[in-house]
Amino acid sequence: MGKAMKFKVVLALFAVAGLAACGPGPKNDASKPAAARPAPPISTAPEHETRGVIASVNGQVLTLDHDGATAAPLAAGRTTFQAYADVLAEAPLDPGARVTFKFRKAAEGEGWELTEMRGR
């Protein structure tokens, strides 16, 4: 083998070793399958019930025009709620649909989360 050929082989080995050392890097939660991600914390806040109309649906975030719940305290008006698949599976999701729903204070942050929703 000539000097030029040995140099190319050595250079190729260094390149492969360098790429192998880099690896894919650290993985964040977004790269994990949904089943592997930790579930959001479960709220232990009391549930409240009221009725309203669906204003909009954006994935798992619903905006509802509602009658409010004084025990919550949540004044009548328009509020955004986080909803999860189990709640959305049986619920009407068309804007304008009249619904009765249960909700509670979210475990994290200042928002609200739906625990049940059905057509009325």
Confidence band, pLDDT 50/70/90 cuts, at residue 69: confident
48 forms bridges with which residues in the sheet?
103
| pLDDT in the model for residue 109 | 75
Instruction: Please compute the mean of the pLDDT values over residues 110-117 and round it to a whole number.
Output: 90
Within 13 A of 102's CA, how many CA atoms are on the CB side? 7
Predicted TM-score (pTM) of the model is 0.62
With helix as H, strand as E and coil as C, how does 19-64 read?
A: HHHHCCCCCCHHHCCHHHCCCCCCCCCCCEEEEEEEEEEECCEEEE
More confident residue, 36 or 71: 71
What tokens appear for 110 in the block?
Answer: 């200042």
Token digits of residue 18: 């360098």
